Each structure stands twice: as C-alpha cells, then as structure tokens.
Structure 1
Amino acid sequence: MTTTLITGGNKGLGRETARRLLAEGHTVWIGARDEARGRQAADELGARFVQLDVTDDASVAAAASTVREQGGLDVLVNNAGITGPHTEPAELTGADALQVFDTNVAGIVRTTTAFLPLLRDSAAPAIVNVTSGLGSFSAVHDESRVESTVVAPLYTASKSAVTMLTVQYAKALPGIRVNAADPGYTATDLNGNSGPQTVTEGTDAVVALAMQGADGPTGTFTDREGRAPF
C-alpha cells in the first residue's frame, strides 16, 4: 500500500488530493499547521493527521519522526503555499518577499530534506511539488492565457523557483521521481474561489504524478493536459 503525505492538506487542492488518493487506496497523511482544522479534515476523509508547519524546522522534523514511527512514506506532495500580501508592486518589501519564499520555496526544502530518509526506504518514492503556470515564462507571455493578465511578483516568482527546484532535485535524487504539477486556474481560497476549474480538475496533474509507478518520469512540469512549457 502506498503512503502519501500532503502538506497543507486540510483544504482546497490539498484536501481534494487527499480525498482522491484515499479513493485509490493510498494511506494519506494530512499535514496541516492548524491542528484543529487538520484533524477535522483527516477525520472527515478517513485520513491520518500530523501537525506540520512548513516554515518551522522543529515542526517538520517532528512530523517526519511521527510518519516514520507509523510505517514510513512513499509519496510526498509539497502543496502548502501562500499568495502573500495583496500590495501594490511598488510597495512590496523585503519582509514580504521573505514571507512568501519561506513558505512556498524554503518550505519545500525543509520538508524534502526531513522526509528524504523515509522516501529512500520506499520501493517507489516520489515527490510532487505543486507549482503554478503563473511561474511559467511561456504562460505569462502568452496573451491567450489568463496567466498573462496577472501581476503578482512574489507569488509568481516563488512558483518559478519551485519549478526550477523540482528540476534540480530530480537531477540530484536519481532514485526518486520528482515532478512539478500546475493545477491551473482553480477555484480555491487563494484566489477568492474565482477560478473556472473545480478542485477536482485542479488536482488532476497532482494525483496523476502521485500515482505513477517507479518507472514514471522525473523532472517534469505537468498540468492536467500533460507536459507543459516552462
């Protein structure tokens, strides 16, 4: 049986990913910063809960210890992320940038490092990093795509970093499949539920990458239509 951990798994794309993978027979850990909300989501879905704040080294280390004690891990879905302040670009501060990158980028580094020993013990280990087309140079320059209309310097830059981080981890960790999934413009709390896609549609790429076998691809940038340009 495949065991999967999803960071930020108590709502939105994370929760729907958990629901779908549970339906496919995965044992799913919902990692959430807020214990009450995380436990509620896990109880409602039939998942396991572990407290996990991706911006806190001690929290991440404790979560890895808990998951190890309960049998280990096969798939890590780095889903937790924030948009950052809704501030005019000319008014953004270094502190604003550090906050966004601490969650969206450094959070992936912390979690990946902590869970690597567990993944290396798996017969088919995988990491799925949830990124965004908003971090794609190709998408933001394509006037036919909604990504070209969005101005959000910190969030978009952080997601570009997530995609490149994915490529670098794929090169550095040849025994582990490491891929980036672009959900697309999906209705979630991050965008005030304005996206045209449902959370089920938005998790298509994440679920597909989480379910691929040991011979699946690595180092890819994928959306629900398949390989996407970066």
Structure 2
Amino acid sequence: MSRSRTRTALVTGGNRGIGLETCRQLVAAGHDVVLAARDAARGREAARRLKSDGGRVRVEELDVTSRDSVTACAARLADAGVDVDVLVNNAGVYPTDSFFSLDEATMREALDVHLMGAFHTGQAFVPAMVRRGWGRVVNVSSGLGALTDNVPSPPAYGVSKAALNALTLVMSAAAGPRVKVNAVCPGWVRTDMGGSWAPTGVEKGADTVVWLARLDDSGPTGGFFRNRRRIAW
C-alpha cells in the first residue's frame, strides 16, 4: 500500500461511546473514517459532530449480525473506491443475566454481535488487506472474557468475548504477519453501556484501540492488550 494514501478505518458501532471516540481520535490522527452504525440516522448525527471538526467521515448503515448487511456495505464501499485498511470491531451489547435466568435469545444475541459480527466483517474486509499487504484489525473485547483469572462473566457477555478472543487468534493466523489482528480490553468505561459510575473516561478507553489501529509494521499481532500492554487471555 502506498504510504502517501490516507488510510481508511471502518468502525462498527461508531455512533456512540468507545466507537465514536475511536472515530474522533482516528480522524484527529489523519485517517478517513467509515462510521458504521446499525441505525443510519444516529450514525449521521454522530458524524456531523466529527465533520464539524474537519474530519472526512462516511456513514454506512451496518448490522454486523447480518451477513447480507455486511456484504452490502462492503459492496457499496468497493463501488465508491473505498479500501478499508483498518477494521475496528467495536459493536457490542452487554447482557447481565445470571446463568440460570439467561434465555437462549439473549445468549444468541451476544454471540451474534460479538463473535459472528467480527466473523462477518473479517471475512468481508480482511482478504483485501492481505492482497494489498497491509491492514489492521482491532477486536474490542473485555477482560471479563479472559479464562486466566475468572470464569467469563456475566455469562452471555463473557462467553461471547472469550469466543471473540479465540477468533482473534484464528484471524491473525489466517491473515499473516503483514495484517495485524489484535484484541483489546478498553477497561470499564463511562458510556451508555458501561454506566456513569465507571472509573475510566472514554478518551482513555479508546486509546489502546487507536494505538492498535495505528501499529507500525514491527508491531504485534495475535495479542490481547489493555493500556497498551499485553495481558493474558
């Protein structure tokens, strides 16, 4: 890929929280951004704030749980001549049901968003990165999905994030060394999902996401990071 071309980052769930702050930081760093949101109207409203700061932002309606939606988004971008160089799989849900009160629909939703969403986008956008010989994929995960220190919890959330961590390793091996694929735990962040009492601000929560999105060619792949440091799975 030419160093002179501005790199384009696609961020799922980009209309709020960590996703929106990731878009803001990437725009500030000079990237073009595709702000992908399930609700296009909310995506456009979020993008207006970024564009008012001079950012080059394109809004795409994208439901990561639907392969058809992901495929259609990829086709629209290809038709417009937009190459996705950086993929941030940020779309998320946070069900807190205990195991014995957890229903199947809630469990499937968590897996559909966190695991299958990254599976769909990875298959849609990473092959072109491999062909171009450069790419970055950041899967926004959670320490609540780590198997080393705790049982993944809450159950639907933790299990789906543990599955996303496993997918990170699989995708990294498939993509090869020139496409960096990593997972990140942003911490407990003050967002609509994390709650106003969370200890971490959204700027810090997005910092490691953006750092992984902008890794140089000697950077790591197939890792799990928090605060720019590798952590256990």
Q: Same fold (TM over 0.5)?
A: yes
Q: How much does 1:138 deviate?
A: 3.0
Q: Distance in 1 between matches of 2:67 and 2:224?
A: 27
Partner residue in 2 for 1:202: 205
Q: Report how many aligned residue pairs link the two structures.
A: 221
The yes-or-no answer on 1:10 pairing with 2:22 is no
SS at match of 1:194: coil
The yes-or-no answer on 1:107 pairing with 2:98 is no
Partner residue in 1 for 2:161: 159
Q: Distance in 2 between matches of 1:88 and 1:133?
A: 18
Q: Letter of the aligned partner of 1:227 in structure 2?
A: R
Gaps of 5+ in 2: 1-5, 52-56
Q: Letter of the aligned partner of 2:230 in structure 1?
A: R
Q: How much does 1:151 deviate?
A: 4.5
Partner residue in 1 for 2:184: 181
Instruction: Select the residue among 67, 70, 84 that pairs with 2:81.
Output: 70
Instruction: Select the residue among 54, 64, 77 that pairs with 2:64.
Output: 54
Q: Distance in 2 between matches of 1:169 and 1:100?
A: 20
SS at match of 2:148: helix
Instruction: Select the residue among 211, 226, 230 that pairs with 1:227.
Output: 230
Q: Distance in 1 between matches of 2:15 and 2:145?
A: 24
Partner residue in 2 for 1:27: 32
Q: How much does 1:121 deviate?
A: 4.3
Q: Distance in 1 between matches of 2:153 and 2:136?
A: 32
Q: Distance in 2 between matches of 1:177 and 1:111?
A: 15
C-alpha deviations, 1:143-171, integer Å up to 9, x for none? xxxxxxx9511101111111111011111
More displaced, 206-215 or 19-28? 206-215
Per the alignment, do residues 22 and 122 of structure 1 end up closer, same or farther by CA in structure 2, a change over 3 Å counting? farther
Q: Letter of the aligned partner of 2:48 in structure 1?
A: D
SS at match of 1:189: coil
Q: Spell out structure 1 runs of 4+ moving beyond 4 A.
A: none
Q: Letter of the aligned partner of 1:216 in structure 2?
A: G
Instruction: Select the residue among 192, 197, 200 that pairs with 2:195.
Output: 192
Q: Name the % identity.
A: 40
Q: Distance in 2 between matches of 1:128 and 1:88?
A: 28
Q: Letter of the aligned partner of 1:64 in structure 2?
A: A
Gaps of 5+ in 1: 142-149
